[in-house]
Amino acid sequence: MLQRMLGAKGPATSALGLGCMGMSDMYGPSDRAESIATLHAAVDAGVVLLDTGDFYGMGHNEMLIGDALADAGFTRSHKRDDVQISVKFGAQRDPAGNWIGFDARPSAVKNALSYTLRRLRVDYIDIYRPARLDPNVPIEDTVGAIADMVKAGYVRHIGLSEVGSDTLRRAAAVHPIVDLQIEYSLISRGLERDILPTCRELGIAITAYGVLSRGLISGHWSKEQGGGADFRAHSPRFQGDNLDHNLALVEELRRVAAEKGVTVAQIAIAWVLAQGQDIVPLIGARRRDRLAESLGALDVTLTSADLAAIERAVPKDSAAGDRYNAHAMASLDSER
């Protein structure tokens, strides 16, 4: 497995990480046994970074990962230190799963961390981060509380998620920030304007989620999919004329991928990998076949001609619809 650094002051990690959210939440039903098998297959393949959130399935995802890491088949060949667990916190949900707020107060940071450690059955978290900026709490207070947990040995590194340049600078003045988790794909390139240059100036890596835009540019999505508990049914890019437009972009990308002899998903992931050694894509596979396909992106080398062809197929800002609904977009510090 190729490796990349998580920032100037962070650890080495695998060139691809595994985003585990879909194993518990947001994308409809998943298979527990297949999820655990996929986690094991990822680590066996050299994927070090496992990304989760304490609100994914209201704790279910953390417990699932904990079970996978404690499984006898895993412990025979791996140790806790063979993986890096990245955890987001702060989002609040009610028993029905509705989103009801955000809390990143220092007391909430330490309380959430204590539950996360218990659910994962580990002694420390490798990277701990607020999932969003809490508008009611200075970022200095939130990062300071995590820094306390670093000093106490419960957290190794501090990350952030979906914040803008000003917040990055203020946070980094309190404690080193190893990475910013933010959506980045061929059709979500807003961070290139200001946030990515700021991260590079400050020595902060990017862990890119949504590299396949939640399956939209995977080459596997069709108009008949979605609905029910799948939150993509309410995502602007998956609706009406927007979906027709975006799937037409995918077909253009499919032609480029076919000429290269790779799949659409592989060329889309390879494009993100090619944007810099300080970028680590998170692949959201919840099945072993999708994992294997995504890992194949590591074998794809894109030439300047390939990158130009991809840009012609999917020009910057060519997607129709925002990446979240209006309410969610308004809450993103990274979009201000």
Which residues are marked as active site? Answer: 56
The answer to whether residues 157 and 115 touch, using CB atoms and an 8 Å cutoff, is no
Tokens of 207: 């862990």
List the structure tokens of 263.
């799949």
CB 202 within 8 A of CB 169: yes
Helix (H, G, I), strand (E, B) or coil at 301: coil
Phi–psi pair at 70, nearest 5 degrees: -90, -10
Query: How many residues does this entry show for the chain?
Result: 336
Task: Tell me the C-alpha distance between 272 and 287, whole Å.
Answer: 21
Q: Which helix (H) or strand (E) holds 202?
A: helix 195-202
Cα–Cα dist 205/8, whole Å: 8
Give the up-direction half-sphere exposure of residue 332: CA atoms within 13 A in the CB hemisphere. Answer: 19
